Amino acid sequence: MSEKRKDNKGRLLHPGEIQMPDGRYRYKYTDSYGKEHAVYSTRLDVHDYVPTGKKKVESLREKEKRIQAEMILNSAVVPNDMTVVQLAEAYINTKNGVKVTTRQGYQTVMNFLRKDPFGSRKINSIKVMEAKNWLVSLQKAGKSFSSIHTIKGVLGPAFKMALDDDLVRKNPFDFPLGSILVDDKHTRDAISREDERKFLKFIQEDEHFRQYYDGIWFLLNTGLRISEFCGLTLSNIDFKNHKLTIDHQLQKRAKVGYYIETTKTSNGVRIIPMLPEVEECLKRIVENRNPPKVEPIIEGYSGFLFFDKKGDVVYSLHWDHYFKHIVDKYNSIYKVQLPQITPHVCRHTYCSRLAMTNINPKALQYIMGHSDIATTMNIYTHVKFENAQEELNKIHAVSPQISAV
């Protein structure tokens, strides 16, 4: 038996793969017409570091997946034999460079399709009505709107890819999900000023939770995504010029551990001016940071602001728990309950408050790091009765002849 080939890191190489003398990787394959091709990359796997002095390019195995998916779609037997699972897998294999969370979402969809009978259906046998009825049946069986939205988010573009390659006559998932399903997602509203006041006062006066006061106040007054907040390092803070640079986020996943990721959207990279109160809060956070003797370094980043009792960097799940415990304790003491308050509710609240100051919508979009102005105005801006009443009172103070009807 021939010895299995390995690269210089001891990793097994797949058929068609070799590592060249200059360290690059090559994959040779033969297309459906019998013609040989070769692709190259400085990295074997998506998680490999980019060699010094080299540009970040697609890893060899990412290229392989894309090539294999394209070859499947171009195969002459595909139109009659391809199943929904096979199509979804071929589509996912073309999605390179996606975030870890997106990749995990794809895996969840694939696991579901492999178990559901619909996944074994032939793609050219599915009609629009069948696709709609299937999605409706999933919601009736207890699947949430967001989960079904994720499934359709894979199958819709997957069938479009098949349509573009003449494998199907029509995309059976080309319809808005809201036209057939009830959106049961919980609405994360902005909290009122009174609830915010009670919430912060309780934290400040609680012997245990007061340690989180500055962090929570900061979230309520900057609107940062919690992963952006957790990813902040000393190098992102410019007290001299009163600005804060947001250019990455900190994540942690099971079996992956801590990792640094780009901002949620390209618009997420931004420089935010710091108001005096925000700057004073951040100075207290920096003064009170308590790193371990050897500061953690995550993919080249160090100088994080918060650490747990073990000396690990605090990430989003920590803050989710802090918020929940605070609200639960408050509601166990007082009859008038606080609503659900989470780090993301802080973001909604901040955006809504800014919107009510008549700030330029494009400036608000920039501060929030949204890729689409519609997201800023339609999702994060929550105006309630008391907000409308307050605005009308302001108008009436200026022009008494105008009164609310």
- Catalytic residue annotation: 225, 264, 344, 347, 370, 380
Q: How far is it, in rounded angstroms, from Cα 167 to Cα 75?
A: 10
Helix axes 145-164, 100-115, angle to 10 degrees: 90
Residue 403, judged by CB atoms within 10 A of its CB (0-12, 13-18, 19+), counts as exposed
* Residue at token pair 């959106």: 183
DSSP string covering 334-398, please? -SS------HHHHHHHHHHHHHTTT--HHHHHHHHT-S-HHIIIIIS----HHHHHHHHHHHHHH
Task: Let me know how long the chain is.
Answer: 405
Tell me the two tokens of residue 84. Answer: 């929904």
Tell me the two tokens of residue 25. Answer: 């990787």
10 Å Cβ neighbour count for 140?
Answer: 9
Q: How far is it, in rounded angstroms, from Cα 400 to Cα 405?
A: 13
